[in-house]
């Protein structure tokens, strides 16, 4: 089943559950989101999504820009977490204004205060991770720790090498930092969860399949076109960050 064939609240939960389980964002009951990812819909799906105060402003912007009534429409959810042509429906300048209104200009909102008209802001999770979160500002001073957070928090994709009862081995491309630039590095092997006690975020992965990952969870199976969309959205965010790094503004 592809992302566009999945109900919006279910698709949202697949990607939102991993940080929620760790207590980083969202409501206090991760198990409800795990059930939601499994297709158990309730009248509280929207309320849970709105409690992700980092993601919800992007969903609103995408829905408004594309003329879609529901921010939990699966097309909106796919665009935010993975990427699609829908990202082009949001004017970058209006998006930055919207995010400044939602997040303010605090010191913990990364580069939001520094963005100008030349920056191609996208309503995508990679933009939030690399540009709005403060971790890139800590790279030169603290190195490994912020880089590890960026690597885990970004939505990344890879090719399944092995499938076990609860974990999958996936070949993916990490983010690296050489002191000057953030780039994607050489492929590596990582082990992620896809099933715990019979509960999973998506259908069982298959050997050779392409999957997305968030923190230490496998989130969904995707197509090659979706993997390219994900890389393209991430490239846009990295371009903004690397420009600031080159200017020694970070």
Predicted confidence (pLDDT) at residue 108 exceeds the cutoff of 90: no
Q: At what angle do helices 30-37 and 8-21 cross, to 10 degrees?
A: 140
pLDDT of residue 50: 94
Q: What is the pLDDT of residues 153-180, one digit of tens each?
A: 999 999 999 999 999 999 999 999 999 9
Q: What is the pLDDT of residues 173-203, one digit of tens each?
A: 999 999 999 999 999 999 999 998 889 999 9
**All structural domains of the chain with their residue ranges:** 155-226
Nearest CA-CA partner of 157 in 223, 80, 85, 88:
223
Percent of the chain scored above 90 by pLDDT?
A: 76
Binned at pLDDT 50, 70 and 90, residue 79 comes out as: very high
Residue-averaged pLDDT of the chain: 92
pLDDT of residue 250: 64
Cross-strand bridge partners of residue 212? 157, 220
The radius of gyration computed from the CA coordinates of the chain, to the nearest angstrom, equals 17
Host H or E run for residue 220: strand 217-222
Q: How far apart are CA 183 and CA 212, in angstroms?
A: 19
pLDDT of residue 105: 78
């Amino acid at each position: 089943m592809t992302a566009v064939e999945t109900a919006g609240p279910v698709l949202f939960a697949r990607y939102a559950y991993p940080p929620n389980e760790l207590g980083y964002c969202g409501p206090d009951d991760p198990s409800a989101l795990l059930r939601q990812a499994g297709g158990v819909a309730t009248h509280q799906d929207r309320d849970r999504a709105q409690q992700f105060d980092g993601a919800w402003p992007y969903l609103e912007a995408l829905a408004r820009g594309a003329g879609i009534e529901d921010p939990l429409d699966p097309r909106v959810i796919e665009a935010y977490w993975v990427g699609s042509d829908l990202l082009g429906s949001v004017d970058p300048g209006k998006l930055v204004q919207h995010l400044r209104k939602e997040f303010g200009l605090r010191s913990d909102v990364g580069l939001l205060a520094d963005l100008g008209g030349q920056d191609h802001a996208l309503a995508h999770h990679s933009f939030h991770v690399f540009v709005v979160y403060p971790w890139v500002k800590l790279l030169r001073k603290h190195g490994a720790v912020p880089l590890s957070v960026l690597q885990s928090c970004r939505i990344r994709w890879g090719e399944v090498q092995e499938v076990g009862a609860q974990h999958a081995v996936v070949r993916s491309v990490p983010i690296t930092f050489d002191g000057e630039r953030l780039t994607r590095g050489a492929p590596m092997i990582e082990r992620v969860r896809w099933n715990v006690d019979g509960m999973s975020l998506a259908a069982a992965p298959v050997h050779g399949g392409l999957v997305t990952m968030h923190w230490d969870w496998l989130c969904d199976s995707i197509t090659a076109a979706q993997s390219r969309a994900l890389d393209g959205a991430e490239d846009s965010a990295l371009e903004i960050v690397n420009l600031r790094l080159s200017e020694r503004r970070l």
